[in-house]
Amino acid sequence: MGEGDGRRQLRARHAKRSGMSVPTTDTVYVLNGPNLNLLGLREPEIYGSDTLDDIAAMLEDRARELGLAIDMRQTNHEGMLVDWLHEAQAEGARAVLLNPAAYTHTSIALLDAVKAIRTPVIEVHLSDPATREPFRHQSYVGMAAARTVKGLGARSYLVALDAVAQL
């Protein structure tokens, strides 16, 4: 951790204690939901052959060009995604790219979390759920997301990151 990071964290802690809003950082949280740890192996005809690590590497390159930083995470647990969304705001993340995977279609808790924070959230999907089974047509997260990028494979994440620069 560099000195700049330390100062930023001190400022953030002071802001939190005194009820001020936390200063925005250059970090974009990239949160991935259940089964996305198996990307590359999992139904490649739908999701492609890139792994989550491949996508993280592409995002890091693009983020550097945009003057941003990436904090890429994956979990199979719904509540963890809720905690990370709260953390994104508490740490002053610039934005969140969120691929909630199957929780997209079921999770009112995630919808509420996206509504509860001021940090902009961009919903991301590799596939286009609207062209798949009817149970994927409903997106709770999409009801509160600033934007949705879907159907472009791994490129959905890159397009979503470019969109952060325009928020």
Stretch that binds ligand DQA, among 12-20, 82-90, 98-106, 157-165 (CB under 6 A): 98-106
DSSP 34-93: TTGGGTTTS-HHHH-S--HHHHHHHHHHHHHHHT-EEEEEE-S-HHHHHHHHHHHHHTT-
Taking the C-alpha atoms of residue 54 and residue 164, their distance in angstroms, rounded to an integer, is 20
Q: Does 129 bind ligand DQA (CB under 6 A)?
A: yes
Q: Does 121 bind ligand DQA (CB under 6 A)?
A: no
Q: Does 148 bind ligand DQA (CB under 6 A)?
A: no
Taking the C-alpha atoms of residue 79 and residue 143, their distance in angstroms, rounded to an integer, is 19
Q: Which is nearer to ligand DQA, 21 or 106 (CB)?
A: 106
Is the distance from CB of 99 to CB of 93 less than 8 angstroms?
Answer: no
Q: Does 126 bind ligand DQA (CB under 6 A)?
A: yes
Q: Does 38 bind ligand DQA (CB under 6 A)?
A: no
Hey, what amino acid is at 4? G
Question: Left if phi > 0, otherwise alpha if psi is -120 to 50, otherwise beta: which for 37?
Answer: alpha
Contact flags string 43-82 toward ligand DQA, x per CB under 6 A = ----------------------------------------
Question: Does residue 105 have an active-site annotation?
Answer: no
Catalytic residue among 29, 47, 103, 140: 47
Question: Does residue 103 have an active-site annotation?
Answer: no
Q: Which is nearer to ligand DQA, 94 or 125 (CB)?
A: 125
Stretch that binds ligand DQA, among 8-16, 18-26, 87-95, 126-134 (CB under 6 A): 126-134
Label the pairing between strands 121-125 and 69-74: unpaired
Q: Does 92 bind ligand DQA (CB under 6 A)?
A: no
Catalytic residue among 103, 125, 140, 157: 125
Output DSSP code: residue 20: P
Is the distance from CB of 163 to CB of 130 less than 8 angstroms?
Answer: no
* Chain contacts with ligand DQA (rule: CB under 6 A): 35, 99, 101-102, 104, 125-127, 129, 136
